[in-house]
Amino acid sequence: MSKEIRLNAFTINSPGHLSAGLWRHPEDQSHRYTDLRYWVELASTLERGLFDGVFIADVLGVYDVYGRSPDAALLNAAQVPINDPLQLVSAMAAATRHLGFGVTASVSFEHPYPFARRMSTADHLSGGRIGWNIVTSYLESGARNLGQAAQLTHNNRYELADEYLEVCYKLWEGSWERGAVKRDAERSMYVDPRQVHEIGHEGKFFTVPGFHLSEPSPQRTPVLFQAGASARGKQFAARHGECIFVAAPTRAILRSQVASLRAETVRQGRRADDILVFNQITVVLAPTDGEARAKFDDYRRHISRDGSLTLMSGWTGIDLSGFDPEQTLEHVESNAIQSAVEAFTTADPGRTWTVNEIADYCGIGGDGPVIVGSPATVADALQAWIEETDADGFNIAAVVNPGSFTDITDLLVPELQRRGVYKRAYREGTLREKLFGREAGLAESHYGSRFRI
């Protein structure tokens, strides 16, 4: 049988995510993001489609590089306004039984002592369905608003992130023994204090002497998601990550990224299949190829050029408002721009990429690939992506909400199931058990398990 394909829904607690300007499409309901019913309905749709999880992006700050102002971000709802992702979980968890929840949080937002309690709480309330997308950086404007003059340097950032994770592992894995909670009325012992241990952490960035405030949750450590791209980032991902997000524009690039991630994972003493790799992707579905193409063309007419360049400027740190729209970018001295141009060029080697063309390309689904077609066409493409790259699945962004996800559940999933490459039911157990078919907690080979008592 062909390799199973896994699907994650990629969303954000904001009216705008990766398809800039699509809030103007008449079918889009993203503005309902402040309404709990919107999220509960979305969770039900995704669980009906047997998605492994819904993954909620977050930024704490504003995309203010483009035009050196936040105006374009506000005009185009480029990930602003944006609300706290974590609070969506309990309402969605109450309405579902299996769907996982990936929550984005930067190690710079909050001290690890209260943060570890937030994650344990979410894991308890969802019955062990929580993932944490570990972000090591954030927007410069976020740093300023937290009263920090500038972000840490790149390497320092990972040093801090490593210590942050260490504190979390000690709290989650090394503080409460399994069975510490007795609830023994006869002996008048709710918790046996001999089985709860202070972590005594004294590091460079954090001092946490005490024990964890939460009793052990079903997974203890949430499933760890990571998306590191640099060499140092890849090392961090291979040490901590269990699900790795990438955004490769072509199969060749993805194949090489997956191979290098698995090799780094093995170098860290883990098994190559201890990580699952998800590629960011956008799909446009309709019953026939022609209808799907027409739908895509309609979507493209709603792209906001400024919104797209606002996101791109934020990601690369280069103000793209300063360039002639018809200018190509080969000669811009920016690593980020060059790697973007390289990715675009690889995606479509026949083209030169002007600023306007980049805006157009990124207008649907940001910097990830877009697949357009009938369920059979899209299924063919997804199978080819998985078979040729050794990736495990896709992190699917919507063009319109919740329409893109409804299309996947109603049109694509049945087709993938017919082909035997998609599950027909969820596994029982925690999110980690569903994803890896092994234990509820961290694998023995995972770095975090060395903090286990």
Q: Quick one: 109 or 426, whose CB is closer to a second copy?
A: 109
Kindly state whether residue 304 participates in binding a second copy, applying the rule CB under 8 A.
yes
Residues 20-79 that bind a second copy (CB under 8 A): 21, 23-24, 31, 34-37, 40, 60-62, 69-71, 74-77
Q: Quick one: 95 or 347, whose CB is closer to a second copy?
A: 95
Residues 126-145 that bind a second copy (CB under 8 A): 126, 141, 144-145
Instruction: Report the distance separating Cα 102 and Cα 100, nearest Å.
Output: 7
Residues 101-120 that bind a second copy (CB under 8 A): 109-111, 113-114, 117-118, 120
Residues 250-279 that bind a second copy (CB under 8 A): none
Member of 133, 217, 221, 316 binding a second copy (CB under 8 A): 217
Kindly state whether residue 151 participates in binding a second copy, applying the rule CB under 8 A.
no
Q: Quick one: 89 or 135, whose CB is closer to a second copy?
A: 89
Shortest reach from residue 359's CB to a second copy, in Å: 14
Member of 150, 153, 179, 183 binding a second copy (CB under 8 A): 183
Q: What is the 3-state secondary structure (H, E, C) of the chain?
A: CCCCCEEEEEEECCCCCCCCCHHHCCCCCHHHHHCHHHHHHHHHHHHHCCCCEEEEECCCCCCCCHHHCCHHHHHHCCCCCCCCCCCHHHHHHHCCCCCEEEEEEECCCCCHHHHHHHHHHHHHHCCCCEEEEEECCCCHHHHHHCCCCCCCCHHHHHHHHHHHHHHHHHHHHCCECCCCEEEECCCCEEECHHHECCCCEECCCCEECCCCCCCCCCCCCCEEEECCCCHHHHHHHHHHCCEEEECCCCHHHHHHHHHHHHHHHHHCCCCHHHCEEEEEEEEEECCCHHHHHHHHHHHHCCCCHHHHHHHHHHHHCCCHHHCCCCCECCCCCCHHHHHHHHHHHHHCCCCCCEHHHHHHHHCCCCCCCEEEECHHHHHHHHHHHHHHHCCCEEEEECCCCCHHHHHHHHHHHHHHHHCCCCCCCCCCCCHHHHHHCCCCCCCCCCHHHHHCC
Q: Quick one: 36 or 259, whose CB is closer to a second copy?
A: 36
Shortest reach from residue 68's CB to a second copy, in Å: 13
Member of 132, 164, 169, 211 binding a second copy (CB under 8 A): 211
Shortest reach from residue 135's CB to a second copy, in Å: 13
Shortest reach from residue 70's CB to a second copy, in Å: 7
Q: Quick one: 39 or 447, whose CB is closer to a second copy?
A: 39
Kindly state whether residue 156 participates in binding a second copy, applying the rule CB under 8 A.
no
Phi and psi at residue 352, to the nearest 5°: -95, 150
Q: Quick one: 23 or 225, whose CB is closer to a second copy?
A: 23
Shortest reach from residue 225's CB to a second copy, in Å: 19
Shortest reach from residue 32's CB to a second copy, in Å: 11
Shortest reach from residue 186's CB to a second copy, in Å: 9
Member of 9, 57, 122, 168 binding a second copy (CB under 8 A): 122
Residues 379-438 that bind a second copy (CB under 8 A): none
Q: Quick one: 90 or 328, whose CB is closer to a second copy?
A: 90
Q: Quick one: 125 or 443, whose CB is closer to a second copy?
A: 125
Residue whose tokens read 């606002």: 310
Q: Are 220 and 446 in contact (CB under 8 A)?
A: no
Instruction: Report the distance separating Cα 13 and Cα 27, nearest Å.
Output: 18
Q: Quick one: 110 or 342, whose CB is closer to a second copy?
A: 110
Kindly state whether residue 84 participates in binding a second copy, applying the rule CB under 8 A.
yes
Run of H or E including 88: helix 88-94
Shortest reach from residue 432's CB to a second copy, in Å: 18
Kindly state whether residue 90 participates in binding a second copy, applying the rule CB under 8 A.
yes
Shortest reach from residue 64's CB to a second copy, in Å: 9
